[in-house]
Amino acid sequence: MGLKFTKMHGLGNDYLYVLGNPDRAKERYGLDAAELSIRLSDRHFGVGSDGMIWIAPADDADCLMRIFNADGSEAMMCGNGVRCVGKYLYDKGLVDRLQVRVKTRSGMKGLELSPGPDGMVERVAVRMGRATVDDERVVEALGAEVRLVPVDVGNPHAVVFVEDALAAPVASLGAALERHAAFPDGVNVEFVEVTGDNELRMRVWERGSGITMACGTGSCASAAAAVRAGLADGGRPVRVVLDGGELLIEVASDGEVVMTGPAATVCEGEVEL
């Protein structure tokens, strides 16, 4: 049976979006949601993506968002993904409002949609909830001591401040920290350079997906950690520059975070299984 999908991305962080209940994937497609994500995310033998996002019905929200990484693991939250979910709902006529509510495994997210001249959503502001920034800790990885700041944004992050984000060992150190004993459930790892007044350059190793072009929750974690360390001013939006583009992150005094950035549709498709 063919599976219909919409490929979308937020700053190059791309997923395959499917309208349906992932818990019924096995009976409908012969593979469960994790198996589908592993197979279809492959960039050589599949469609190619950082994972799959299912948009399912919810009684208390406009939809329920379920995220499966490229390795089949299920994620709690995806900042770039939730912006695309808002665009999906509006562009396909599933909602007719510019304010929507999306339920995720890390709680309810409120979205403010901004359509472009063609009537399709171009940018989305997301109320991400509260970022909890822990004290800096030192762990040993790859034979060296690494200073990092744990941050919870509904999913776990480890923010590593560096002098040069482009030269940071994202692949090697990111992979080592992802499954470090200090993080038994795994962690997303951000390598962050302060590049200007309220501006950060960030590169990311995402739990379950590896290096990606952008990470919305990682940008929120990085901005919150920078504000906590006095490296950025929480009274103004923090500009976070990623491999795939830019996000604006607002960090309130109580830790509440608002993320604003683009969402784009790549194509519609159907794959035979």
Residue in 237, 233, 188, 196 with CA at minimum distance from that of residue 215: 188
Largest CA distance in the chain: 54
Selecting among 63, 78, 84, 220, the annotated active-site residue is: 78
Residue in 236, 264, 152, 157 with CA at minimum distance from that of residue 202: 157
Average pLDDT, the chain: 97
Residue 189 sits at the vertex; the CA angle it makes with 188 and 195, to the nearest 5 degrees, is 135
Beta strands in 105-143 (DSSP E): 107-115, 121-130, 132-133, 137-141
Token reading at 188: 């997303």
Per-residue pLDDT tens digits for 211-270:
999 999 999 999 999 999 999 999 999 999 999 999 999 999 999 999 999 999 999 999
DSSP sequence for 169-189? -HHHHHHHHHT-TT-TT--EE
Selecting among 63, 84, 215, 220, the annotated active-site residue is: 215
What pLDDT score does 146 carry? 98
The reply to whether 63 belongs to the active site is: no
What pLDDT score does 171 carry? 97
Confidence of residue 122 (pLDDT cuts 50, 70, 90): very high
CA distance 47 to 269: 9
Cα 32 from chain centroid? 22
The reply to whether 84 belongs to the active site is: no
Report if pTM > 0.85: yes
Is 71 in contact with 38 (CB distance < 8 Å)? yes
Per-residue pLDDT tens digits for 37-54:
999 999 999 999 999 999
What pLDDT score does 153 carry? 95
Token reading at 173: 């150190």
